[in-house]
Chains A and B, each alone.
Chain A
Amino acid sequence: MPPKTAQIRLVSSHREVYEPCDDSFALVDALLADRTNIVDHCPRLCLEVGCGSGYVIASLALMLGQEVPGVYYIATDINPHAVSVTRETLDAHGVDAELICMDIASGLEKRLAGMVDVMVVNPPYVPTPDDEVGREGIASAWAGGENGRSVIDRILPVADRLLSDEGWLYMVTLTTNDPSQICLLMRKKGYASRIVVQRSTDEESLHIIKFWRDSDIQLDTKEIITTTKSVSARVMDSLSSQFPQLPFWRSSNSNCL
């Protein structure tokens, strides 16, 4: 029997809450593709930032199900309507998560540091004027500011703080967000990365990227400080090989390291 995910007909809705769309499906497909690894990983605490309709957190809880018992799920959203809708979606699927209405993980950062084993984020990634970021209601689900990076760039350090030593982050990005540069930023913090799902729709090209701490990279990072060229070239090669559809990124980001 294939692993279960949330069913669209059971996902609750509200006019001010983002409905599951291509990006949500791509993120759940990425979690499905990596499900065996997650099961072997035996996560104790999973966190979704920006849960929207609850489709993703319900799917994660369903696909891990009885195989990984006793997982503590937490989901946050800045939109109060979204956490209410997520509650209904979870109830409709017979799964449970702790829900908190907050900006990213602002009230959890102190005490939950280093405890999150799996973090999933479908951030507001659509490029918009910066003053549209953080508005109330459904706009908070997509308004991403300059290059769609305003909220993503606030989430990355939070993820770094919350993830356990063996913690994994799955994040949706758009080509416009410059995913390779996001990977380089995370690499400086000691994270390896891999594209789990890549999908082009009529409107956008999505990458679902998985990040995890890699002790070798921390060594690399130290090397970079002393012997720049060879390592940075290696990093660039490894990343560029993962982004075949982004021939332009190399020129626009060659000053990253």
Chain B
Amino acid sequence: MRLFTHNMLSSNIKGVANGFPLRIEVEQVLEKQVDFNPDFLKNLFPKLEWKALVDAARTMGYAELPEEADSLMLESEEFLRKFHHALLELHLEEGALVCPETGRKFPVNKGIPNMLLHEDEVPDLACNQVLCPTICERYGKVD
């Protein structure tokens, strides 16, 4: 699991309000080289939670990212190289992701997070029309 994926994942256990960022427990980190693509990084930057990336990278043993970043820094190749390495080249191979609100652990084995919920953790179908209008159309609105 790369840290970009980590930055996009949240815990959606029933009752959890935010569930982001998942805390990382590290057993094994791998580094795999990826072609440097500045445009990809620049496009992605506004979508990222920077602090979550900085903390995740530090947990994985990479402490080169600045605590704060703004879009002007995307002009610096030195910054982009570090950003690239943290976001795309560090892999959590073995370990766990921990829900920040409930402490529930989601195991990561062979680089694959298992985010499956137990039956009693699944949020109710109590959906609203905005989130799942199709289901509501079929089954009637559930409040």
Contact = CB atoms under 8 A, between A and B. Distances in A.
B117 A103 contact: yes
Contacts of B8: 108, 111-112, 115
Contacts of B44: 44
A70 B7 contact: no
Contact of A84 (B1, B19, B110, B132): B110
A106 interface: yes
Contacts of A78: 116
Contacts of A110: 10, 12, 19-20
A107 B9 contact: yes
Interface string B2-39: 10110111111000000110000000000010010101
A38 B112 CA distance: 27
Nearest to B4: A72
B74 interface: no
B80 interface: no
A106 B111 contact: no
Nearest to A101: B114
Nearest to B19: A110
B74 to A, nearest CB: 16
Nearest to B41: A70
Most A CB within 10 A of own CB, among B8, B35, B111:
B8
B112 A84 contact: yes
Interface string B46-65: 01010000000000000000
Interface stretch (A18-26, A55-63, A151-159, A242-250): A151-159
Given A69-B37, A72-B4, A107 B131 contact: no
Contacts of B110: 84, 87
Given A84-B110, A115-B47, A100 B135 contact: no
A102 interface: yes
A252 B77 CA distance: 60
A109 B47 CA distance: 14
Contacts of A138: none
Contacts of B138: 149, 153
Contacts of A153: 134-135, 138
B41 to A, nearest CB: 9
Interface residues of B, number: 36
Most A CB within 10 A of own CB, among B4, B7, B12, B43:
B12
Contacts of A206: none
Interface residues of A, number: 33
B113 A111 contact: no
A100 B5 contact: yes
B131 A157 contact: yes
A101 B47 CA distance: 23
Interface string A59-85: 000000000011010100010100110
A100 B115 contact: yes
A111 B20 contact: yes
Contact of B115 (A44, A74, A106): A106
Interface in A123-139: none
A177 to B, nearest CB: 13
A185 B135 CA distance: 11
B137 A99 contact: no
A247 B131 CA distance: 33
Interface of B: 1-2, 4-5, 7-12, 19-20, 32, 35, 37, 39-40, 43-44, 47, 49, 110-117, 131-135, 137-138
Q: Which 8 pairs between the two chains have the least Cβ-Cβ distance?
A: A70-B37, A102-B115, A107-B115, A157-B132, A101-B114, A111-B8, A70-B40, A98-B5
